[in-house]
């Protein structure tokens, strides 16, 4: 049976790296885009943004790469290079950033992702792969990996001894657990699937496992987590997760549900519900005299 291979890419520019795609991870976002669930898909569509390959040609002004290098490309292939976000290496916030696929490049052509056989990209958006890192294992790091690693660092959830929760044990979640353990954190996996407990604890090294539909388990874990990385891409309630956080804990959403989630604000600003549940020792005291706000709550005890 013959195989039809289609390769559509531009010519190698002076700052471009052309590489043969060897591996590409499949991201849940690929599914959203293929189904146009975000209402922004451009067809024909070639997904793939966890891409690893081998350089076969470089432009005349390329400095970081040469033919034969193992390289990777993630979620972006272009930006304006001049706004404050670009200057600060935050191209993902650039208003003119160009996604790896399903977008228009600066020359007006449509960008195609890693389900291609070859790619041509600006060297600024290409990264090197260490020789000792298996290429197939490296691919998921380009989207899922950085998506969960970044929040640990950016939001200060990277201090050994901290207790973090990871919601969902899929492509993002399993990497979140591995990164968290490598950072020296205590990890609780929160999942709707009891059959993932063995994988989470015995294979990935999680310290505990909670079934999110089990009210007793969720109640027992209330107020124990410094932060939560929520990787779920389906619609799900947030209030039960908020209840698991310590005061000033952080809930970080990295999943991308196709429909908006409801964010209950009352549990974030009031303590009466905690008082009703008797989960505070020993007394809430309202500091009425020293604040201009309607009330300030101080918690005494541990």
With 70 as the cut, is the pLDDT of residue 295 above it? no
- R_g over Cα of the chain: 23
* Helices and strands in the chain, H and E counts: 10, 14
Quick one: three-class SS letters along 29-76? HHHHHHCCCCCCCCCCCCCCCCEEEEEEEECCCCCCCCCCCEEEECCE
Write down the residue that tokens 């600060």 correspond to.
Answer: 88
pLDDT > 50? residue 4? no
Residue 297 pLDDT: 44
Separation of alpha carbons 197 and 214, rounded Å: 14
Tell me the pLDDT tens digit for each residue of 186-230.
999 999 999 999 999 999 999 999 999 999 999 999 999 999 999
pLDDT tens by residue, 128-183 = 999 999 999 999 999 999 999 999 999 999 999 999 999 999 999 999 999 999 99
Annotate 195-228 with b (16+ C-beta within 10 A) or e (fewer): ebbebbbeebebebbbbbeeeeebeebbeebbbb
This model's pTM is above 0.85: no
Residue 151 backbone phi and psi in degrees, to 5:
-60, -35
């Amino acid at each position: 049976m013959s195989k039809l291979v289609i390769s559509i890419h531009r010519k190698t520019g002076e700052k471009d790296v052309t590489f043969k795609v060897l591996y590409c991870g499949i991201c849940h976002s690929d599914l959203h885009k293929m189904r146009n669930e975000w209402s922004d898909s451009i067809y024909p569509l070639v997904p793939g943004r966890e891409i690893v390959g081998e350089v076969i040609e470089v432009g005349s002004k390329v400095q970081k790469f040469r033919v034969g290098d193992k390289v990777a490309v993630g979620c972006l292939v272009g930006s304006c290079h001049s706004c404050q976000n670009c200057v600060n290496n935050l191209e993902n916030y650039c208003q003119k950033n160009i996604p790896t696929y399903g977008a228009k490049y600066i020359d007006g052509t449509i960008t195609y992702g890693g389900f291609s056989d070859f790619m041509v990209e600006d060297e600024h958006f290409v990264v090197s792969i260490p020789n000792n890192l298996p290429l197939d294992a490296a691919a998921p790091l380009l989207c899922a990996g950085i998506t969960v690693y970044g929040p640990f660092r950016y939001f200060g959830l990277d201090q050994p001894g901290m207790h973090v929760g990871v919601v969902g044990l899929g492509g993002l979640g399993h990497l979140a657990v591995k990164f968290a353990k490598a950072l020296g954190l205590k990890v609780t996996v929160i999942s709707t699937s009891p059959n993932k407990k063995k994988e989470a604890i015995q294979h990935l090294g999680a310290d505990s496992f909670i079934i999110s539909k089990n009210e007793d388990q969720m109640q027992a874990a209330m107020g124990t987590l410094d932060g939560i990385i929520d990787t779920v891409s389906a619609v799900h309630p947030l209030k039960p997760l908020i209840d698991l956080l310590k005061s000033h804990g952080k809930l970080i959403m990295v999943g991308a549900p196709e429909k908006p989630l409801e964010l209950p604000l009352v549990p974030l600003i009031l303590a009466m519900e905690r008082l009703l549940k008797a989960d505070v020792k020993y007394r809430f005291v309202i500091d009425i005299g020293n604040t201009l706000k309607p009330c300030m709550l101080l918690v005494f005890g541990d």
